[in-house]
A and B are shown apart, each in its own frame.
Chain A
Amino acid sequence: MPRQTTFAKTGELDKTWHHLDARGKVLGRIATEVATILMGKHRPEYTPHVDTGDCVIITNAEQVVLTGRKAQQKTMQRFSGYPGGQKVESYESLMERHPERVVEKAITRMLPKGRLGRQMAKKLHVYVGDQHPHQAQQPVALEIN
């Protein structure tokens, strides 16, 4: 066995694709699991400065569950950059307009902030409904209980 710790190199590891059906799943519970996979912390070759994570497809984003009164109380803030340009929107209305954005934001905000984190976020694909255009990547079903 080598004396030095192994470091993964970019493009050296094969990326598998995971497919997760978000129907009836709690938002934060799936977000932590998916973020772990995107970061690559689920495999023993994990290397902090290299993206060792896999790709994740999430379908049925509109059927994700927010527990308690979070749909009414929790808000999403954006800022346009202009004075008075702060937009505040409840999760209830955001779920109606862009359900995939709710899931995407929950997950990407758990990723590292920086160039590598943004790169990791690109491997996440969220869709409304149970169809996705990644059949060719032969995604493996991901079970989260």
Chain B
Amino acid sequence: MPRVRKGAARNKARRRILRNARGYFGTKSRHKQQAKVAILRAGNFAFRDRRNRKRDFRRLWITRITAACRMRGTRYSVFMHGLQQAGILLNRKMLSQMAIEDPASFDELVQVASEHASKAAA
């Protein structure tokens, strides 16, 4: 077997790593070994956070709905319970968007929810 020299392949591998690490802070975008670790970690975080994103957004919507409810003198838990009792199946994403863009409709939702919530309690 002929002797294989590594030079060209090694350069190519290094270039590939540094290309993927473009824009990273300090040596992480300049040194092969640091860049290699940084890319690996970035990939892992990206994988994890694509899953976590669903929870992050749900939390944000709940925070926003809470704010909208408190402005109107009710609470998040009472509001959601009331909607469920009333058979309104709007999800939290839609509710939070309505609170921002269509406050008038949200007012009505709060109205309906509080009626049904109090009925269940009585």
Residues of A participating in the B interface, judged by any CB pair closer than 8 Å: 1-2, 5-6, 41-48
Spell out B's residues near A (CB within 8 Å): 57, 60-61, 63-68, 70-71, 93-94, 96-102
Which residues of chain A come closer than 8 Å to B63, judged between CB atoms? 41, 46
- Report whether A1 and B101 are in contact in the complex, using a CB–CB cutoff of 8 Å: yes
Give 15 A-B pairs besides A5-B96, A42-B67, A44-B100 with Cβ atoms closer than 8 angstroms.
Answer: A1-B97, A1-B98, A1-B101, A1-B102, A2-B97, A5-B61, A5-B93, A5-B97, A41-B63, A44-B64, A44-B68, A45-B64, A46-B63, A46-B64, A46-B67
Residue of A nearest to B69 (CB): A44
Contacting pair B70 A1 (CB below 8 A): no
A44 touches B94 (CB 8 A): no
> Can you give 25 contacting A-B residue pairs, CB < 8 Å?
A1-B97, A1-B98, A1-B101, A1-B102, A5-B57, A5-B61, A5-B96, A5-B97, A6-B97, A6-B100, A6-B101, A41-B66, A42-B67, A42-B70, A42-B71, A43-B67, A43-B71, A44-B65, A44-B68, A44-B99, A44-B100, A45-B64, A46-B64, A46-B67, A47-B60
In the bound assembly, the distance between CA atoms of A48 and B57 in angstroms comes to 11
Q: Is the interface of B mostly helix, strand, loop or mixed?
A: helix
Residues on the A chain within 8 Å of B100, using CB: 6, 44-45
A41 cross-chain contacts in B, Cβ below 8 A: 63, 66-67
With CB as the reference atom, state the residue of chain A lying closest to B95: A44
